[in-house]
Each structure stands twice: as structure tokens, then as C-alpha cells.
Amino acid sequence: MEKPRLYFVDNLRILLITLVMMLHLSISYGGEGSWYYKEGRADTLSAVLLTWHNATVQAFSMGLFFLISGYFTPGSYDRKGPLRFLKDRLLRLGIPILCYDFVIGPLIVRPLVLYGTEVSFGSYLDFLAGYYSSFHIGTGPLWFVEALLIFAGCYVLWRVLTKTPAPVVPTESNVPGNLAVALFALALSTVTFIVRIRLPLGWNFGPLNFQFPFFTQYICMYIVGITAYRRNWLARIPDAMGKLWLAAAIIFIFILFPVLFVSGGAASGDISRFTGGFHWQCFGLAVWEQFTGVGMIISLLFLSRKWFNRQGSISKATSASAYTAYIIHAPVIILVAIAIRNISLYPLLKFALAVLIAVPLCFALANVIRQLPLARRIL
């Protein structure tokens, strides 16, 4: 059952983590979203373009992350069995969560207190007293790692309760057709809209730091990843299908998003009807988001397999450090943003400058951290 290494998936991880860093930096310079550090109010053009960027990245990036994670779950479980699989997940996922929650997270706030943000933390000691006396897990970007740990636990429980054995021979099958994929995207859209009627975008379950308005896609993509592993779907996406969904994604991003944005009244600055409630704008955004997400996921898997299914020494080292880069990127990009805060540049140019500095720095520091004793086993 051992499969050849999918280098294009490793390369996709690099791209996705870079996009996550860009999304968080985008919020710092005027894009819509929640992040630790925001540098004042951007002009209208910068705010629109950065929000457009954020909406597009949000539509597919974390969903593809969960799909990839789900894809590698069955094989790992088959090789290790339930106890060793859980032990490895607790080691690789649990320790970074604890380190971020109790060390990195509080330290991030210190430069924000020193240099000012839109949020008033009071004194740093008051903040620490409140922070360590309250329950929290998966703070900041580590909500994703926390979710993976929970999903892995659910997978183990399912395998144990159903006594599902690993298949003796591969069960390869063709990728579902375009109609089935479109119906899947429509079902995702509908359930997402139903969730957001009561839980609008921005709603967060604080103790676990989960934004449930996005979780319909995340849960489904994790399950799709598990299913895809047994059927070898990632390596079997037909060229025609990849091209079709790439075209669909382009249309949704560059044509339908502006139409939805303008016709829904967002141009006036009011986006409340898009974020939640029983409004056609909310349903329209859910449809746009899920079809864009599915289209981008299929097309990126297709394109990366076709053109980027190889690695040199640099890309190999970068992909090996991708997980660590994700864990440490929040403090790094915040400190970069603070370091260049006094440089007077147009917000879009400053965003580009921050990306050019912060992204390579995150991967370089991650590579160094991975060389530390015991770190390689975890990271």
C-alpha cells in the first residue's frame, strides 16, 4: 500500500503557507479580517483589493490544507495502528499547540502593547494574569493544528468502532465527474449558508478558537481527503476536469465576485448582509466561496501535479520546514510589520514589501529551528 511521494503536494504546502502569511499581512494593511496587528485605515482601493485577495485565499486555502491532511491520515493509521498513531499526533500536534498557547501567544502581545494597536490590552502584567487564568487552546493560527488533532481523534474512534481494516489491495477509482463535483459544491454552499444564518462570519467559539462559519468546508474536505487516499484521486484528476474548474475559478474570482460585491451593496461600505443572516447576499457569498474553493482546489492539484511534481534542494528544505513556518509565522510577520511601520509607503506597496521580507524569513527561521535537539522529531 506504500505510495510514491507526491512532490506536488509538498510544493502545494509551501504555496498555501505563503498565502496564509500573505492573508494575515493583508489584514495588517487594510484587508477585511481579524488579526493581531493593524496599521491604521487603508484607502478605498487598497482595502477593496486586499479584501478581494483575502476572500479568494480564504475560499480555498484552509480547505485544501484539510484535504491534504485527511489524505495522509489513513496511510499513517494503517502503518502505525491506533495507539502509535494517536501518540504521534499528540507529539507532533499537541506540543506545538501548548508551546504557542503558553509561550508564543503571550509574547506576541508584548510588542503590540509597546507600539499600540486598535485594541487596548491594559498593562502587560494585567494581560498575562487574565491570559493564564482563563481557558484557551489553539490560539492564533494554531486553531488549525488543534482542529487536526480533534479530527485525527475522531478518525481513530471511527476506525476502532467500525473495525474497518486496511484494504489488502488498492481500490483505485476514477475521480467523481464534474456534475457530482458541482452538486457537492452546491451542497457545501447550502449548509454553509444555513450555518451563517445563526453564526455570521466573525463568530468565534472562544475556548477552542474555532470560527464555525467556515467549518462546513473544513470537515467535508478532510473527509474527501481520506476518501481520495484509498482511491488515489489526487494523482488521477483528468486534464479536462482540471482545465474546466480552473476556468470556473477564474470566472468566479474575477467576474462574479465584483458583480456580487457591487450588486449586494458592499460598495457603499456595508457588508453586514454578506456575513450572515437570511439574506440573498449571504447565500450568494456562500455559493461564491464554495464554488471558488472547489474550483481552486481541483485546479491547483491538477496544475501542481502537471508542472511542479519535482523538487530541488531548496524546495525540499522549504517543504520540510513548512509546518514549522506555519507555527512561527504570526510573531515573525508581526515584528516585520512593526519594524517597517515608520516607512511611508502606499498600503499596497507596503504590503508587498512586508511579504518580500517576512515570507523568506519565516521559512529560514523554521529551517534553523528544525535543527535544534528533539525539534526534528516533532516538527
Q: How confident is the model at residue 361 (pLDDT cuts 50, 70, 90)?
A: very high
Long-range CB pairs of 194-197, under 8 A, 24+ apart, other chains included: 196/275, 196/276, 196/277, 196/282, 196/286, 197/276, 197/277, 197/278, 197/282
Cα–Cα distance, 349 to 338 (Å, whole number): 15
- Do the Cβ atoms of 30 and 42 come closer than 8 Å? yes
The residues near 30 (Cβ < 8 Å, ≥ 6 apart) are 41, 42, 43, 46, 47, 50, 51, 347
CA 289 to chain CA centroid, Å, is 14
Q: What is the pLDDT of residue 120?
A: 55
Cα–Cα distance, 66 to 225 (Å, whole number): 7
Provide the 10 A C-beta neighbour count for residue 289.
26
Q: What is the pLDDT of residue 130?
A: 77
Which of 42-56, 62-76, 114-128 has the lowest average pLDDT? 114-128
pTM: 0.93
- Do the Cβ atoms of 47 and 344 come closer than 8 Å? no
Q: What is the pLDDT of residue 114?
A: 64
Q: How confident is the model at residue 25 (pLDDT cuts 50, 70, 90)?
A: very high
Cα–Cα distance, 15 to 27 (Å, whole number): 19
Q: How many CA atoms lie within 13 A of 86 on its CB side?
A: 10
Which of 120-134, 163-177, 354-368 has maximum average pLDDT? 354-368
CA distances from residue 299 to 29, 39, 117, 155, 294 in whole angstroms, order as listed: 29, 34, 39, 27, 9
Q: How confident is the model at residue 256 (pLDDT cuts 50, 70, 90)?
A: very high
Cα–Cα distance, 64 to 221 (Å, whole number): 7
Cα–Cα distance, 99 to 104 (Å, whole number): 6
pLDDT in tens, 109-131: 777 766 655 455 567 777 777 77
The residues near 183 (Cβ < 8 Å, ≥ 6 apart) are none
- Residue 374: helix, strand or coil by DSSP? coil
Higher pLDDT, 184 or 170: 184
- Do the Cβ atoms of 102 and 128 come closer than 8 Å? no
pLDDT in tens, 149-169: 999 999 999 999 988 777 766
Which of 23-37, 124-138, 180-194, 337-351 has the lowest average pLDDT? 124-138
Mean pLDDT over the full length of the chain: 90
- Nearest Cα neighbor of 327 from 64, 128, 144, 106 is 144
Percent of the chain predicted with pLDDT > 90? 69
- Nearest Cα neighbor of 288 from 207, 359, 185 is 185
Q: What is the pLDDT of residue 333?
A: 95
Cα–Cα distance, 240 to 247 (Å, whole number): 11
Cα torsion 219, 223, 226, 228 to 10°: value is -120
